Amino acid sequence: MSDGLGDDGLGDEDLESLGDSLASEVRVAVGRLARRLRQERPAHELGLTQMSVLSRLHRLGPTSPKSLAAAEGVQPQTMTRTLAALEDSGLVARAGHPTDGRQLIISITGAGRELLRSDRRQRDAWLAQVIDKRLSPLEQDLLRVSARLLSLLAEPDPSILDD
């Protein structure tokens, strides 16, 4: 017969609250770091949505405005405005679809890639300096492992929610 206590002497409710507490701590820490990294962005006129679209185009390659809108979770009209602003700045280019003349394909330009590189370089430099100044070598090793674990958590895995 089970007394509701695990091998560590903690009951089911205690285990749930530990898990909730860890989840909350990770969420808050990741959120704070994300906000801090946004503050370290170089001064340019692009907003987060525009930077996100540039980054997505850089990672995935040329795609349709409809696919970009779906991937970014915005309405097609919103994506149209975003792409127009990026195109006016010379950061993306539009071309006709090779097989469907009704569609457009959007790609990042060299200027768009350079803007992303500059943005990332500045934020990476800030973060590297903070890590070097504030963390011991052991803490840096732990952070390296933690970064891998956070990446694992960020990967979509629908089977987790099926339990």
Reduced to 3 states, what is the DSSP secondary structure of residue 106?
strand
**Which pLDDT score, from 0 to 100, does residue 99 have?**
78
Confidence of residue 77 (pLDDT cuts 50, 70, 90): very high
Residue 97's pLDDT is: 76
Task: State residue 103's pLDDT score.
Answer: 82
Kindly tell me if the per-residue pLDDT of 107 is higher than 70: yes
Q: What is the DSSP track for 31-52?
A: HHHHHHHHHTS-S-S--HHHHH
List the one residue out of 152, 133, 131 whose CA is nearest residue 142: 131
d(CA 85, CA 72): 16
CB 89 within 8 A of CB 127: no
Helix (H) or strand (E) holding 3: none
- Quote the pLDDT of residue 144: 96
CA-nearest of 36, 44, 62, 63 to 115 is 44
The CATH number of domain 48-108, selected from 3.40.50.300, 3.40.50.720, 3.10.180.10, 1.10.10.10: 1.10.10.10
The amino acid sitting at 79 is M
Q: What angle, rounded to 10 degrees, do the helices at 76-88 and 48-60 form?
A: 90
Output the pTM of the full model. Answer: 0.69
Cα–Cα distance, 82 to 12 (Å, whole number): 49
Domain spans of the chain, in order of start: 12-42+115-154, 48-108
Cβ neighbours of residue 97 closer than 8 Å, sequence gap 6 or more: 64, 103, 104, 105
User: Whole-number mean pLDDT of the chain?
Assistant: 86
Question: At residue 1, does pLDDT exceed 50?
Answer: no
Q: Are 75 and 94 in contact (CB under 8 A)?
A: no
Choice among 2-11, 25-34, 91-100, 121-130 with the minimum mean pLDDT: 2-11
Q: What is the pLDDT of residue 64?
A: 93
pLDDT in tens, 7-55: 555 555 655 565 679 999 999 999 999 999 888 887 777 888 899 999 9
Q: How far is 162 from 150, CA to CA, in rounded Å? A: 21
pLDDT of res. 2:
47
